[in-house]
Structure 1
Amino acid sequence: MGRNLGQTKLRKRRRREDPMREFDLLPPVLRAWVTQAALPWRPRSVLRAYNTALARTGDQTRALDELKHLEAAQLAKDSQLTSAV
């Protein structure tokens, strides 16, 4: 199942949903962000995180910045996991 995930130690799970349909339903700004993301975000997960950040900040740009910080934290966690092996 690892296909295009590289050497990450983060959890991987198969999904029953149609990820392309869910991706197409994302707001355009969020679709653009996901295409540039370093991690393979699930559309439902990124939408939930974005909506939470948007509700907290009230600003679309700041919400996207929070997503960047979440992703950076996840990358740092993965880096620690892979260097420990």
Structure 2
Amino acid sequence: MSRNLRSELKRRRRQASPMQAYDALPQPLRQWLTQACLPWSPASALKIWRQTGGSRNPAAAIGRLNAVEQAMLQQDTKVWAPKS
């Protein structure tokens, strides 16, 4: 028996195929995801896209995604920065 099959953790099933979720994204959002610095889930990227009205104003939605990603990267540098 394989090691990872002996886990005692409760298994969770995905609700949908991750590739189908990615394929259903608008083209500008998929293009942004291919160039993103961090690994985004299709659901979280789409949530920000919809909140900022990406279908009406893709440039504003891309700008917001960039801002969120930069904030996350800044937060990450604080975690990994050497303590003085």
CA–CA separation in structure 1 for the residues paired with 2:64 and 2:39: 17
Distance (Å, rounded) in 1 between the aligned partners of 2:40 and 2:60: 19
Q: Report the TM-score, using the length of structure 2 for normalisation.
A: 0.73
Shift of 1:62: 1.2
1: CA distance, partners of 2:82 / 2:61: 32
Separation in structure 2 between the aligned mates of residue 18 and residue 39 of structure 1, nearest angstrom: 21
Q: Give unmatched runs, 5+ long, in structure 2.
A: 1-11
1:28-77 C-alpha deviation (Å, 9 max, x unpaired): 1110000000000000000001110127xx52101110110000000000
Structure 2 counterpart of 1:59, one-letter code = N
1:79 aligned partner? 77
Runs of 4+ in 1 over 2 A off after TM superposition: 14-18
Whichever of the two has the greater Rg, that structure is 2
Point out the structure with the larger helix share: 1
Structure 1 residue 18, shift from structure 2 partner: 2.4
Instruction: Return closer, same or farther for 1:37/1:15 CA change in 2, 3 Å cut-off.
Output: farther
Rounded to whole Å, the distance in 1 between the matches of 2:28 and 2:13 is: 24
Query: Structure 1 residues 38, 18: CA separation in 2 closer, same or farther (over 3 Å shift)?
Result: same
Q: After superposition, where does 1:51-62 map in structure 2 within 5 Å?
A: 51-54=50-53, 58-62=56-60
Q: Any stretches of 5+ residues in structure 1 without a counterpart?
A: 1-13
Superposed counterparts of 1:25-64, under 5 Å: 25-54=24-53, 58-64=56-62
